[in-house]
Every structure is written in C-alpha cells, then in structure tokens.
Chains A and B, each alone.
Chain A
Amino acid sequence: MGKGYAIAMIAVRLLHERDIRDSDGKGYINGKKYNAMWRTNTGCRRGLGAKPLHPMPPLSTLRSPVLSLVEVGRTAPGIREPDWSILMARTLDSDGAAYRRLLEEIAPHIRSLAAKWCRDPDEVEDAVQDTLLTIHAVRQTYNPARPFGPWLVAIAKRRIVDRLRRSGVRRERETSLTHEHETFPAAQANNPAEALERRALRVAIHQLPIGQRQAIELLKLREMSLKEAAASTGMSITALKVATHRGLKALRRLLAGGEETR
C-alpha cells in the first residue's frame, strides 16, 4: 500500500513537472498541451502555403507565465509575435481580445494566400472574409494540442477553391454590364446615335427660311393638319404645301451636304 502510494505520488509529481516543463517547442498550461511552434508540414507544404508563416522559439527561451507565452519576443528583439495556436486556444475560452488579435493577424496571411489564386481584389477580400467566417463557425474543431497552421491553411484553401469555383460558374453564365448596357428611364437617353441625328435635324431646320421652317415644324414635327397649320400661320394651304415641299428638299440637301463634308 505504502509502496503503491509512493509510486502514485512520483507519477503525479512527474505529470505536474510536465506541465511547467517545456520540450520540443510545446508548452503545457493547466495540463493542456499547446503547440508553440508552426509546423510547416501537412497543410502548408501540400496545400497552398509554401513558407512557414510563424516559427516560434522553444519555450525554454520564454518567461514562465501564460501571458509571456502569448506575447513573446521572437527572432528579432522588439518584434512581438504572438503564437496563434495559443491565441486560438484562448479564443476557445471566450477571450474576445485574443480572438480579435488572432483574426487581425491572420487576415493578411489569408489575403496573401488568396492573392495567389484570385486576381480581382474584391474576390481576394471576399475569400478572406469567407475564411474568417468559416474559422468562426468551426472554431470548436481546433485542437490546441495540434499546430494552428495546417488548420488555418486547410480552411483558407477550401474557401478559396469554393470562391474560384463559384466565380468560374458565374463567368460562364453571366456577362458583366458595360456602359453600352446602361439604360435610363427616359427613352431618348438610351440611344445616343439617335440623339445626335435629332440634334443635326434641329440645326438644319433652323437654317431654313422662316416660311419653310414654320411649315416643317407645324406639319411634320407637331403633326398638325394643313387646315390647322393654315389657321395658325395665316398662310394658304397651297403655300403651306409648297413651303413644306421646298423645306423637305432643303433639309435633304443640308443633311446630305453635312455627310459629304465629313
């Protein structure tokens, strides 16, 4: 009994020491193992990423408290790079500040990852936001005992591929609008060529003698009858007919002359 108790105590002590000891880049907080090192394996190498995004020094170089694990100087003095694994572990404990910091720090990395595949800056930003939303939705699937890098890259890769697939389908089915496709409520605004012709006609009518101009405006533009036009102008019907005939002939000449002079 006494011997068993002694063995048990030694085992407890060893486990306790394991909690505060560090080895091969892993830290232990309250018995949970946290990876303090970016492994450049699995997702990074096989997937999208190429470089280790965030190497961490062995924990032996760190000060002991938990906070010093989070905000620890890395390769160069003065640079404070938190360990995303630990930030994520703290996120799972509902630490909003750690979560905000994590998202702010990973967003540029996701952006650079997405920029390799998406050319459109809007697409890149959409991929970043999709990835952040997915991370939020599946954050409980992260295991703090495992490296954060492959988890992040796998999610980002999935979202980028989805976005590329969707945009490919959209490109096949849809045509983006150009200025020529733009329309306005006013009918005359939708045909610029017609508007130009109308303007040229108006200029030509203004060049006609007053009698012919009146006859054209009343009979052809306002579509009055000969009787109405005669009453309106005081001209005889025969004079109106002659003025209209001459006016149309002159207009034809003026408009044709305009084209010839081009």
Chain B
Amino acid sequence: MMSTPDLIDQLAAGLTPVRRLRSPMVRAAQWLLLATVVSIMLVIALGVRPDFWQCVLDQSFVLCTGASVATGVCATVAAFMLSLPDRSRAWVLLPLPAVVVWLSTIGYQCLTNWVALEPDVLSWGEAARCFSTLVVTSLPLAITILVMLRHSTPLRPVLATLTAGLAVSAITATEMSLIHNIDASIMNLVWNLGAAAAIIVASGTIGRRFMGQAFARR
C-alpha cells in the first residue's frame, strides 16, 4: 500500500489544469436550453398533434403539461445541485410537489396497445411507435445530462442519476404531449427511470472499476 505522503507527492506532481465547473444553476439552464431546442426541432420535424389547439383550452392538459415542465425544471436543478458535494441532500425534494401534481394527471394509454391485431395482419401497435419516438427524443437528453453530471459519480451517484432520469422523463413527456395525441407519460417514466436504475446498477457493479481507472489516469 502506498503511504499517504507518497500519494500526496504523486497527486501534487500530477496536477493538471482543470476547467472550473460553472454554477449548477447555469449548467441546469444550459441543459434546459438544449431540451428546448430539441423540443422545437421535434415540433418542426413532426408537427404538433392534430388536436393541439383544442388541448390548449383543456384545463387538465394545461395542468399536466405545466406540471411536467415544472417537474423537468425542478428535477434538473436538483440533479445539478446534488452533483456537487457541498450542496444539501434536501435538494432532492425540490421536484416533489410538481411530481405529485404531474403523476396525478397523467394517463397510461400508450401502455395498453403494444400490438395491433388487424384482420390478416399482426403489426406493431401505437405503443411500439410511441416507444420508438420516446427513445429518439429522450436519448440525446439523457446522454447529455449524464455527461454533464459525470462529476457526481464518486459522490452521490444514485440521487443525481435518479433526479436526472426524472428530469429527462418530465421534459420528454412535455415534448411528447406536444407532438403525440396519446398520453405516453407512464411509459415515459418507466423507460427513463428504468434506464436511470439500470445506469445506477451498472455504475455500482462496474463503475468502481472505471472510477479506479479514472483516478489512476489523473
């Protein structure tokens, strides 16, 4: 085992310049800006849902979308705060009120129709199409936020990854509610939080090895 003075010598000798992280609020704002750009591009590429203007007049739609936006914003801020060691763990509670409102308004239609049974033809149902759209929309956002939160790996990986998963879910749900006329929120949550859980399990099993290698490289 290397002695602590030797380790200090080695760390000091291998000190390389690092770019200071911007404030968590600024980084959260950057990611939310990226999410907004992705949403606008999706709307331009796929067009808004046919009944969008009727939905805007529907109070429950407005409440659901507003709650998902609020959840996304709060969860993003919480994730970036939790990625820093000196910020309180209580930041995890920030998205809670918005999540409660959002979960109380979402539907589960997309989970119910995976395969369309038509005469003579067995084709992918609305759920499968919905899922593919979901993956395409959430993947770039998920990858970006996880890269931005990579510094939290040795500190609070579970909390930061879960809140990040929640943020991606909420933002993707908002995007889907603009372009997709069936509510995909539950599927969205299952997919994104499931992905977050998978990342946590993977980082728990193989992450330490990667972290050790990262330390060795530094």
Contacts and interface: CB of A to CB of B under 8 A. Distances in A.
Contacts of A42: 86, 88
Contacts of B83: 141
A132 interface: yes
Interface stretch (A76-84, A92-100, A206-214, A251-259): A92-100
A137 B214 contact: yes
A107 B8 contact: yes
A121 to B, nearest CB: 12
Chain B contact-residue range equals 20 to 34
A158 B155 CA distance: 7
Given A100-B12, A140-B21, A146 B86 contact: yes
B216 to A, nearest CB: 9
A252 B83 CA distance: 78
Contact of B218 (A100, A136, A147, A155): A136
A71 interface: no
Nearest to A93: B17
Contacts of A97: 12
A125 interface: yes
B20 A92 contact: yes
A91 to B, nearest CB: 7
Contact of A129 (B2, B13, B86): B2
A154 interface: yes
B18 A158 contact: no
A170 to B, nearest CB: 14
B24 to A, nearest CB: 9
A155 B2 contact: no
Contacts of A1: none
B209 interface: no
A128 interface: yes
A103 B10 CA distance: 11
Interface in A216-242: none
A49 B35 CA distance: 40
B85 interface: yes
B4 A125 contact: yes
A9 to B, nearest CB: 29
Given A43-B86, A150-B86, A143 B23 contact: yes
Contact of B4 (A43, A132, A134): A132
Interface residues of A, number: 35
Contacts of A93: 17
Interface in A106-159: 107, 122, 125-126, 128-129, 132-134, 136-141, 143, 146-147, 150-151, 154-155, 158
A118 B208 CA distance: 21
B48 interface: no
B16 interface: yes
A194 interface: no
B7 interface: yes
Contacts of B156: 158
A97 B15 CA distance: 10
Q: Which of B5, B9, B18, B21: most chain A Cβ within 10 A? A: B18
B129 interface: no
Given A96-B13, A99-B11, A129 B154 contact: no
B84 interface: yes
Contacts of A150: 86
Interface in B130-153: 151
Contacts of A133: 7, 11, 215
A77 B173 CA distance: 63
Q: Which of B1, B11, B88: most chain A Cβ within 10 A? A: B11
Give the top 3 A-B pairs by smallest Cβ distance, nearest first.
Answer: A100-B12, A151-B86, A154-B85
Given A125-B4, A141-B84, 20 more contacts: A43-B86, A92-B20, A94-B16, A96-B15, A97-B12, A99-B11, A99-B12, A99-B15, A100-B8, A100-B12, A103-B8, A128-B4, A129-B4, A132-B8, A136-B11, A137-B215, A137-B218, A140-B19, A143-B20, A150-B86
